[in-house]
Amino acid sequence: MSTAAPVKLGVLISGEGTNLQAMIDAVARGELCADLRVVIANRAEAGGLRRAERARIPCEVISHRDFTTREDFDRALVRALQSHEVELVACAGFMRLLSPVMLRAFPNRILNIHPALCPAFPGVDAVRQALAYGARFTGCTVFFVTEGVDDGPVIIQAVVPILPEDDEASLAARIHAEEHRIYPYAIRLYQEGRLEVRGRKVLIRDYPPAASVALINPRP
Ligand code: GAR
């Protein structure tokens, strides 16, 4: 475990919050040194709010429907995050595009996860898109948020095979399992001060030994 201070984390969600749960569990296991300051949902029905409550993390609901512009919605997000002294923002199934208002308030301090190997299959329905395309591999990506859709500098990716018998549910489950491993790890790299954004690229200090073998599916 790093000796750096715990990262003060704010998590934005819209849905089930299984990635939020992975962060909560990683902190509980001592694998992630983070202080979960607040969970903010843009939907009161977001299942992840119950997970936050169970873990005794402060929660807020800020509905985008209460604002006429994206910027006004983002200003409310910024106010809430700053009032909880958040340093790093993790979008975890947060289905809203962020405007420059948020990006300026947290420069290179907003992460997101996408269920595909960026830049493939951006936007919604990434799992369905990969199946419909007939790809042999897909996966998930944690990246720094920019103004574009799922196209910021990449921190970490996991590759997941697509099997002949897969449907959307089975493939989504396989991707989710990898998301739950790589998202807490990406936050840990940030907390340890090992990430540096240089243009499109993210440099990682003390890069761990990387796999250098090709993945082939189906294997010859
Ligand atoms: C995750 O699979 C995440 O990659 C996806 O939403 C899901 C949220 O699951 N995000 C996107 O598609 C962003 N474009 P969760 O609420 O169980 O963490």
The whole-model pTM stands at 0.97
What is the residue with the minimal CA distance to atom 16 of ligand 1?
A: 17
Task: Provide the 3-class DSSP secondary structure of residue 76.
Answer: helix
Class of the domain covering 7-200? alpha beta
Instruction: Provide the 8-state DSSP code for 218.
Output: S
Instruction: Please give the average per-residue pLDDT across 58-69, as a whole number.
Output: 97
Query: Who lines ligand 1 at CB under 6 A?
Result: 13, 15-19, 48, 92-93, 113-115, 126, 140, 150, 176, 179
What is the residue with the minimal CA distance to atom 9 of ligand 1?
A: 93
Contact 126, 116 (CB under 8 A): yes
Instruction: Please give the average per-residue pLDDT across 61-90, as a whole number.
Output: 98
pLDDT of 3 above 80? no
What is the residue with the minimal CA distance to atom 8 of ligand 1?
A: 93
Locate the domains of the chain by residue range.
7-200
- Catalytic annotation present for 84: no
Q: How confident is the model at residue 211 (pLDDT cuts 50, 70, 90)?
A: confident
Of the candidates 64, 114, 176, 180, the residue annotated as catalytic is 114
Contact 41, 201 (CB under 8 A): no
User: The tokens 């269920």 sit on which residue?
Assistant: 115
pLDDT tens digits, one per residue of 9-57: 999 999 999 999 999 999 999 999 999 999 999 999 999 999 999 999 9
Q: How far apart are CA 20 and CA 123, in angstroms?
A: 20
